[in-house]
Structure 1
């Protein structure tokens, strides 16, 4: 595996950071005198983040328990554990929050001592955001089944600083059948963990059109072990789609009532459920340069 890589994308505005499975897009908005050192800080922090995680990986792959938080050494690992602790009434490991936690960690490094108007760190669709007073950012939500990349605008006063998407079609395993579940939360780590559990809850156990395989058979070192993960979803009736989405919505509403998330959007077979305030709109090409993709 190559070491940490950093380079500018062709547009000259966005920084690409890559090391093994971590693939980040970083963009800062503000004066050049503030953005330049901010990017340098992000690159410096990125040099060791994967190494730190690998050192604690065996423990990070073990389930979290509601009453027994672990004392991890690395700051990113501690973010992961904190994000899943309040959700640990059911099976969840800190790995459910790894992408969002890495995004949060790099964003904090980017912002340390700097004055930026806005910034985001996009880790494969799971994003950490910074919004100064009066600022806003538009995020594209992929995988909605509507034939377009819907967008949601987040304002500084909304208190949302994390966006994450989960579902069986994504890059990580899912126990459910959601095409996508996008969550808005106070941090990227919290959004990541919540999206995982809401997507797991969008489910039709035992349905013959759904193919599942033990996670360990697909990835021997998976934190999901013998859990059965979704590999394909066949034709579902409108009633079945509604039942699966409503199960996920119940979990999303519970998380929102408890203050764990701000809002979520659940998608399956062209149908949608919304929890909280998520205004989905068609893409606006003039906003593209200001968009963090989830």
Structure 2
């Protein structure tokens, strides 16, 4: 997500209860789907989410210059500070706090959902998901797998995972690499978001003639990536090239697992796959899905 101000005179935060009981919150580029489960007061949890959502985008917009910078700056808002904390472990490589914005927003809204009788909850911000799981509970989330592979991951209370995020050149944000998708499991959504961005960048074949790139600012004048070349097209690659690109990304993902930053990752490129860390599981239809 690339945070930006709402249009002059445009609508503020919007909230709607979906037919299946989930809550939809929308404001500018932020689009949240919130699921809350259990015998507790779900309406009260929804009210807390709406109150937390109010003013969230404006707070980020107020600090956008610092959030778009690769140089650390003092930040005021709690979501902005969470973004900065999530990207700090990846430096000195180039990264800005915007790499963690979707996950940090999901974490912030999830944080207000707990209450008596709330046993499970999730906040899905365009595929970057923050999870709440009471003891004995689990949730199943879809991932961007290729046909024939498990396309769900089940997270249980005992697992250290509370965040899931996906990045890649085909997604809603720019990528420096060529991964179709990289899904990351991490202790929170902000860290998963930043890690997915960096692993997707690492899945690459620098200088390969099958890859078309353009400066990010040519695609979006406000991009935090500036003149860095982002992927805009990838022609079909041979098995050797796919393997080389995925091996590079998997090696980087493995270092993040070894450092304890992430719990697992799945990397996808033109039908080829690599998985690192916590295994991906087949669907469990008895579990609510994020």
Task: Report TM bin, short chain.
Answer: over 0.9
Q: What's the CA shift string for 1:53-88, capped at 9, x where partnerless? A: 000011100004xxxx53311110011000000111
Greater helix fraction, Structure 1 or Structure 2? 1
Aligned length: 281
**Compared with structure 1, are the counterparts of its residues 40 and 261 closer, same or farther at alpha carbon in structure 2 (3 Å cutoff)?**
same
Deviates most, 191-200 or 132-141: 132-141
Q: 1:116 offset after TM fit, Å?
A: 1.4
Q: 1:147 offset after TM fit, Å?
A: 6.7
Task: Give the equivalent residue in structure 1 for 2:11.
Answer: 2
Task: Give the equivalent residue in structure 1 for 2:22.
Answer: 14
Runs of 5+ unmatched residues, structure 1: none
**2:51 matched to 1:44?**
yes
Task: Give the equivalent residue in structure 1 for 2:251.
Answer: 250
Deviates most, 121-130 or 272-281: 272-281
Q: In the TM superposition, what are the counterparts of 1:255-266 in structure 2 within 5 Å?
A: 255-266=256-267
Q: Does structure 1 retain, via aligned residues, the 8 Å contact 2:66–2:73?
A: no
Q: Does structure 2 retain, via aligned residues, the 8 Å contact 1:176–1:201?
A: yes
Task: Give the equivalent residue in structure 2 for 1:132.
Answer: 134
- Output the CA distance in 2 between the equivalents of 1:258 and 1:39: 36
- Output the CA distance in 1 between the equivalents of 2:154 and 2:29: 29
Q: For 2:135, what is the secondary structure of its paired residue?
A: coil
Q: Does structure 1 retain, via aligned residues, the 8 Å contact 2:150–2:280?
A: no
- Output the CA distance in 2 between the equivalents of 1:91 and 1:17: 32
Q: In the TM superposition, what are the counterparts of 1:46-195 in structure 2 within 5 Å?
A: 46-64=53-71, 69-111=72-114, 113-142=115-144, 144-146=145-147, 150-195=151-196
**Compared with structure 1, are the counterparts of its residues 217 and 149 closer, same or farther at alpha carbon in structure 2 (3 Å cutoff)?**
farther
Q: For 1:224, what is the secondary structure of its paired residue?
A: coil
Q: 1:9 offset after TM fit, Å?
A: 1.1
Q: 1:279 offset after TM fit, Å?
A: 2.2
**Compared with structure 1, are the counterparts of its residues 24 and 149 closer, same or farther at alpha carbon in structure 2 (3 Å cutoff)?**
farther
Q: Does structure 2 retain, via aligned residues, the 8 Å contact 1:128–1:187?
A: yes
Task: Give the equivalent residue in structure 1 for 2:35.
Answer: 27
TM-score, normalised on structure 1? 0.92
Q: Does structure 2 retain, via aligned residues, the 8 Å contact 1:126–1:192?
A: yes
- Output the CA distance in 1 between the equivalents of 2:150 and 2:233: 22
Task: Give the equivalent residue in structure 1 for 2:4.
Answer: none
Q: In the TM superposition, what are the counterparts of 1:234-249 in structure 2 within 5 Å?
A: 234-249=235-250
**Compared with structure 1, are the counterparts of its residues 114 and 54 closer, same or farther at alpha carbon in structure 2 (3 Å cutoff)?**
farther
- Output the CA distance in 1 between the equivalents of 2:170 and 2:15: 28
Q: Does structure 1 retain, via aligned residues, the 8 Å contact 2:215–2:230?
A: yes
- Output the CA distance in 1 between the equivalents of 2:280 and 2:148: 17
Q: Does structure 2 retain, via aligned residues, the 8 Å contact 1:140–1:149?
A: no
Q: 1:145 offset after TM fit, Å?
A: 2.9
